[in-house]
Amino acid sequence: MYFSDLGNQSSTKNQLIDLFKQSRVPHAILLSGASGCGHLQLALSFSALLLCETPNENDACKSCSSCIKYEKLQHPDLHLSFPIHLSKAEHSEISDDRRELFVSSLDKFKCIGKKTWYSTMGNENKQGVIGVKESQSIIKKMNFKSFFGGPKILVMWLPELMNLQASNKLLKLIEEPAENTYFILVSENKNKILPTIYSRLQNIAVPKMELSAVSNFMVKNFQIAEPESNIIANLSGGNLNKAVVYHLNSGDSGLNMTLFVKWMRLCYSRNIADTIDWVNELSKMGREQIKDFINYTLEMSRQCILGNFYIERREVKEEEENFLKKFQPFINHKNISQINTLMNDAYYHLERNANPKILMLDVSLQLYKLLRK
């Protein structure tokens, strides 16, 4: 992960690059922002720049021996710390025991949210912890000589999940760090960091990502076409983690489902301004994709009817089932035939080159009425 992979995520990126250029990089930085704001990516890209032997103006060179080591996050002077699940019997695990899993998840998702990480470790509902053994390991590692002779960096993701004992152990190290060491802490909830730790950090607030930055990130990291990336960005509301999950689920019905849920909510609440935005985004998808989405809507309507008659649904995924259970009363024997006709007509007109924006807005307005029948 380099700055160039972050797309047009700009303000914090420039702030960090300026600190670097002016040789004013604080030894303990806190990047704080909401989940999915891209701060972990910023921390890792900044680490690459700090470790690079021949950095460019705005980014690591990607070709020196340090950058080559950094490529798969295998650089021996880049230490990663993150919450893990501690088993009951064995409380001696440290992040390094899970580093390979963490790095491969990062490689797959390009960013990582708490839920994704917890479920990767085997239980999405179990909170991870940064424990005291981890602090001991950090102290040891950060006091070693650097492997490459350059700086040593610790990137800690979610320092708010450090327990009290672990936090207290790290205090001294953060206050009086060894020479040429950097701590970059990446927090989603800075208020939960122990105040004595917090006061030793230079806080940089990372704003929520612009939708265009999320879209750009998706294009760069997942090689998807722009209309789709714009839709994903829009649905994500600027949360990178959500965008990635939408994308990875969209292989089959994920994107369609996300679109469908949002559409039905908008139509039911008769939110005209947001419906227009939604239609504009949808229209940017290709005609074939919109037709595919119409087919999906027809299928979901049929599934609602099955549910209304207590017939077991077999072909739906778990998240679809969860939504349909709540939503099925709104598509029923009173409106199903009109909804069917509406969707089939829309499909017919799309095939005959109707303007998708006008068509889908009209379909939405008709759904406003039908869903209230």
Contact footprint for Zn ion (CB under 5 A): 52, 60-61, 64, 67
Q: At its nearest, how many Å lie between Zn ion and the CB of residue 13? A: 17
Q: Encode 275-306: b = buried (16+ Cβ within 10 Å), e = exposed.
A: beebbebbbbbeeebbbbbbebbbbbbebbbb
C-beta closer to Zn ion: residue 50 or 166: 50
Inter-CA distances, 159 with 71, 102, 167, 227, 361, Å: 24, 16, 9, 37, 46
138 versus 155: smaller Cβ distance to Zn ion: 155
Q: Which amino acid is at 206?
A: V
Nearest to Zn ion of 47, 229 (CB atom):
47
Q: Between helices 254-269 and 240-249, what is the axis angle to 10°?
A: 120
| Tokens 């369609």 found at | 256
CB-nearer residue toward Zn ion: 64 or 365: 64
205: number of Cβ within 10 Å: 13
Amino acid identity of residue 92, one-letter, is: S
DSSP code string of 35-47: TTSSHHHHHHHHH
Closest approach, Cβ 9 to Zn ion, in A, equals 21
Residue 101 CB, shortest distance to Zn ion, in Å, is 26
Cβ of residue 65: shortest distance to Zn ion, in angstroms? 8
- Given the complex with Zn ion, which of 58 and 308 has the nearer CB atom? 58
CA-to-CA distance for 265 and 206, rounded, in angstroms? Answer: 31
Q: What is the torsional sign of CA 39, 45, 49, 51?
A: positive
Closest approach, Cβ 71 to Zn ion, in A, equals 10
71 vs 226, beta carbon nearer Zn ion = 71
Q: Which two tokens stand for residue 136?
A: 């001991």
**Least distance CB 47 / Zn ion (angstroms):** 12
- Could you tell me the smallest distance in angstroms from the CB atom of residue 56 to Zn ion? 8
Query: 198 vs 120, 160, 232, CA distance in Å?
Result: 29, 10, 35
> By C-beta, is 150 or 227 nearer to Zn ion?
150
From the CB of 44, what's the least distance to Zn ion, in Å? 14
Whole-angstrom distance, CA of residue 67 vs CA of residue 173: 27
- The angle subtended at Cα 45 by Cα 41 and Cα 46, nearest 5°, is 115
Q: Which is nearer to Zn ion, 64 or 121 (CB)?
A: 64
Q: Which of 73, 68, 74, 93 is nearest to 83 (CA)?
A: 93
Round to whole Å and give the CA distance between 13 and 45.
Answer: 9
